[in-house]
Amino acid sequence: MLRRFSPRLAVLTVLSLFVMALTSTAVVAQDAFTFTAASTEVTHTAGQTLRIDLSIANHTDGPLDILLDIPVSPGAPWYPEIRGRIGTFEVARVTIQPDPTETERTLTTFRFLNDIPEDAAPGEYNFSVRARTADGRFSQTIPFVITIKGSDEEAVEDLEVETRFPLLRGPADASFEFAVTLRNRSSEELILDLAGLVPEGWDLAFKPSFEEKFFTSISVSGAGSQSLDVIVTPSRTAAPGQYPVQFTAGVGERTVSADFGVILTGNSEVRLGTSDGRLNAEASAGNAGTVPVVVFNTGTIPLAQVDLIGQGPSGWDISFDQASAIDIQPGLFQEVRAHITPTDQALPGDYSVTIFANSPDTSDTMELRITVTKSSVWGWVGLAIVAVVALGLVGLFVRLGRR
């Protein structure tokens, strides 16, 4: 069955399709590209060059023809312009290729430049940069506020330093890493010299976060930031307590500083040695040999409850004048005589004996070489046997002579 053609219905259909087309176009245009700036509020001084990085990302499936202009500026003698990233040519129109990954990682970058007039009066100056498609379907504008400070005002605070944990605790044999972030609020790149103050005998170093190389200066881009680690290594002989550390970064009159603190809990360290430095001694089988063992406290806190233990061949006896509860102050030592007795059946030769020093917090070991010599008892026994044999022979000759 055929229906009669209705003009009213046809008009409504066309209008619906038109509205749908407009709605679809707005959504596509809304996602066509992203226009961003590294910073939109910058503080600067007269006579310097203003630099702000700009980026455009294409979110469509094909290339976009983009027009760039500066619709708002203070006018003469301000002459802002848009240049390529390296600043060699002025840019007014550019073709942006699509991002194959559909993310904003692939960017086309530009730079907003302006030589600030030498006689620019202190105050705020407004600019804007516009990016729009050549067909006029989409446009984005970024406003900028540039603040110029006068010569009679305080120095521009365009450099900042941040740290999360300014106070760290640990023993003197540890290294302390302070995480620092440097922020450059100006529009120009800054190459900052790094320095610091630490107690005498301590070491200070700087390295990038998550890297193992060291440096003494760092570059921070305009309106950017850089993270680094400040590494503090105390003197191993530093006493327990809290110590100040100061970090500075700057170039010329632009300098920032941060104060840190290190709380040393002290390190416990015991070392064994001998009074004459020799690690060998002699002993005869069944008889004790004596070794002057020295217990050193090379840490920064007192040693308490140090015990001495000796270990040697099976059956050997090892004892000490004082084998337990030895207390020693930092930097001092105590001499304890070790008595090492081989078994009666020990054969002549070299044997290994180990001395252990143990405390609740630290320990150390020392290896000694004990040379076992022939026992003097067996020497006398041998002499007695020789004497008996000699006397027997003399008696025998006497008896035979009488016959």
The two three-digit tokens of residue 377, written as one number: 């008892």
**Mean pLDDT for all residues in the chain:** 83
- Condensed to tens digits (0 to 9), the pLDDT of residues 225-247 reads 999 999 999 998 888 899 999 99
Question: Which pLDDT does position 87 carry in this prediction?
Answer: 57
pLDDT band at 219 (very low <50, low <70, confident <90, very high): very high
Lowest mean pLDDT among 145-154, 156-165, 191-200, 333-342: 145-154
pLDDT band at 1 (very low <50, low <70, confident <90, very high): very low
Question: Which pLDDT does position 76 carry in this prediction?
Answer: 83
Using the predicted structure, report yes or no on whether residue 391 has a pLDDT greater than 90. no
> Within its chain, how far is the Cα of 403 from the centroid?
104
Q: What is the mean pLDDT of residues 364-371?
A: 96
- Condensed to tens digits (0 to 9), the pLDDT of residues 248-271 reads 999 887 889 999 999 998 888 999
Using the predicted structure, report yes or no on whether residue 15 has a pLDDT greater than 50. no
Query: Residue 326 corresponds to which amino acid?
Result: I
CATH dotted code for 32-149: 2.60.40.10
Question: Which pLDDT does position 6 carry in this prediction?
Answer: 52
The two three-digit tokens of residue 372, written as one number: 């076992």
State the residue for tokens 């209705």.
6
- Condensed to tens digits (0 to 9), the pLDDT of residues 272-330 reads 999 999 999 999 998 999 999 999 998 888 898 999 999 999 999 999 999 998 999 98
Question: Which pLDDT does position 101 carry in this prediction?
Answer: 54
Question: Which pLDDT does position 387 carry in this prediction?
Answer: 77
pLDDT band at 153 (very low <50, low <70, confident <90, very high): very low
CA quadruple 195, 197, 199, 202: dihedral, nearest 10: -10
Question: Which pLDDT does position 373 carry in this prediction?
Answer: 87
Question: Which pLDDT does position 358 carry in this prediction?
Answer: 95
Architecture of domain 159-264: Sandwich (2.60)
Residue 11, phi then psi, degrees to nearest 5: -65, -45
Helix, strand or coil, per DSSP, at residue 10? helix
How many CA within 13 A on the CB side of residue 24? Answer: 6
Of all residues in the chain, the percent with pLDDT exceeding 90 is 44
The two three-digit tokens of residue 255, written as one number: 């300098």
- Condensed to tens digits (0 to 9), the pLDDT of residues 95-135 reads 888 865 544 445 677 778 888 888 888 889 999 999 999 99
Question: Which pLDDT does position 247 carry in this prediction?
Answer: 96
Which of the pair, 186 or 139, is modelled with greater confidence? 139
Question: Which pLDDT does position 271 carry in this prediction?
Answer: 95
pLDDT band at 381 (very low <50, low <70, confident <90, very high): low
pLDDT band at 13 (very low <50, low <70, confident <90, very high): very low
For CATH 2.60.40.10, list the domain ranges present in the chain. Answer: 32-149, 159-264, 270-377
Using the predicted structure, report yes or no on whether residue 171 has a pLDDT greater than 50. yes
In the DSSP assignment, the letter for residue 131 is E
To the question of pTM greater than 0.75 for the whole model, the response is no
Question: Which pLDDT does position 260 carry in this prediction?
Answer: 93
pLDDT band at 180 (very low <50, low <70, confident <90, very high): very high
Looking at the DSSP assignment, which residues form a beta bridge with residue 373? 284
**What is the third-level CATH fold of 270-377?**
Immunoglobulin-like (2.60.40)
Question: Which pLDDT does position 319 carry in this prediction?
Answer: 95
Question: Which pLDDT does position 62 carry in this prediction?
Answer: 86
Using the predicted structure, report yes or no on whether residue 366 has a pLDDT greater than 90. yes
Using the predicted structure, report yes or no on whether residue 5 has a pLDDT greater than 50. no
State the residue for tokens 């330093």.
161
Q: CA separation (Å) from 98 to 61, 65, 108, 135, 142?
A: 6, 11, 10, 17, 22
Per DSSP bridges, beta strands 254-264 and 167-170 are parallel
Residue 386, phi then psi, degrees to nearest 5: -60, -45
Using the predicted structure, report yes or no on whether residue 203 has a pLDDT greater than 50. yes
Using the predicted structure, report yes or no on whether residue 218 has a pLDDT greater than 50. yes
- 109 and 121 in contact (C-beta within 8 Å)? no
Question: Which pLDDT does position 343 carry in this prediction?
Answer: 93
Question: Which pLDDT does position 327 carry in this prediction?
Answer: 93
Using the predicted structure, report yes or no on whether residue 191 has a pLDDT greater than 80. yes
